Amino acid sequence: MTLLRYAYSTLIELSQPVQNHSFSLRCQPMQSYNQRTVWQRTTLIPFTEATQTVDAFGNVVTSGFIAQRHNFFAYEAIGLVDTTIKAETPQYAVNDSVYLYPTQLTTPSPNMIDVAKQVGPLSDARSKIECVMDILMSKMSYQQGTTDVNTTAEQAWAQRMGVCQDFAHISIVMCRLLKLPARYVCGLMLGHGQTHAWVEAFDGSAWIAFDPTNSQWVNADRYIKFAHGRDFADCSISRGTFTGVAQQKMTVSVDVWEE
């Protein structure tokens, strides 16, 4: 049995008080064939009642509303996850066609289409994924501060640099061009740092997870999955709106360690 304990916190400081703050969070581990939540707790400050729903992609969403004026918003998600692979349990069968089509963040450029055409006639999904990881390893550079959450795969590819979100979006584009349904995954990785993004591709019977930023297959005992979707916009960990004019400063802390 592999147990991973996690502590994930976000502090959003606001330059002016705001009110009527609606928020939605995807910071609870998903339940799947190789991941089971032993226990988890999410704390909100300012305190407010929250509800939990499941979105169209199967992600658990914690939502709430803060009516009173406040100049910061913080949440902490902690828990313990069993990431033991249960080989006897099949991976979930899904209608994967939704993960074949481009989105605003994953529309290919002509050059990306040309690069994908250069991949040889490979029949199995793992060989195709290995080619995708090799392409990114040889052509992309990891550089913080060069992109933001609105950067498209085409824009990141054009400048040949970005962060894990961009590596994931570009990989999704390449997989779909190679006729592999692919989806964006957000979550945590063993160690101290930030949230992380990777990709799952469907081979016809199972989802295969890989980490294009680190050019490696996703090992279940090093990753905790929070949510998935067609791209980042479907499964961002935090999203919200409020009434007021304020600049935001966000501080994120992530720690994942083996129990």
Q: What is the pLDDT of residue 92?
A: 52
Query: How many other C-beta atoms can be found within 10 angstroms of the C-beta atom of residue 43?
Result: 11
**pLDDT, tens digit (0-9, with 9 covering 90-100), for 170-227:** 999 999 999 999 999 999 999 998 999 999 999 888 899 999 999 999 987 899 999 9
Q: What is the pLDDT of residue 205?
A: 84
Q: What is the pLDDT of residue 170?
A: 98
Rounded Cα gap, residues 153 and 167, in angstroms: 8
3 state DSSP class of 81? strand
Q: What is the pLDDT of residue 89?
A: 46
Q: What is the pLDDT of residue 257?
A: 96
DSSP bridge pairs for 81: 4, 37
3 state DSSP class of 174? helix
Residue 253 in contact with residue 194, Cβ under 8 Å?
A: no
Q: What b/e string do you get for 44-75 counting C-beta neighbours within 10 Å, with b at 16 or more? A: beeeeebeeeeeebebbbbebebeeebeebeb
Q: What is the pLDDT of residue 221?
A: 84
Q: What is the pLDDT of residue 109?
A: 97
Q: What is the pLDDT of residue 84?
A: 80
Q: What is the pLDDT of residue 156?
A: 98
Contacts 24+ apart (CB under 8 A), 250-253: 250/10, 250/11, 250/12, 250/13, 251/10, 251/11, 251/13, 252/8, 252/9, 252/10, 252/194, 252/195, 253/7, 253/8, 253/9, 253/10
Element (H, E) at 158: helix 153-159
Q: What is the pLDDT of residue 46?
A: 94
Q: What is the pLDDT of residue 34?
A: 81
- Which residues of the chain fall below pLDDT 50? 88-90
Bridge pairing between strands 70-82 and 60-66: unpaired
Query: How many other C-beta atoms can be found within 10 angstroms of the C-beta atom of residue 250?
Result: 10
Q: Give the tokens for residue 110.
A: 């002509």
- The residue length of the chain stands at 259
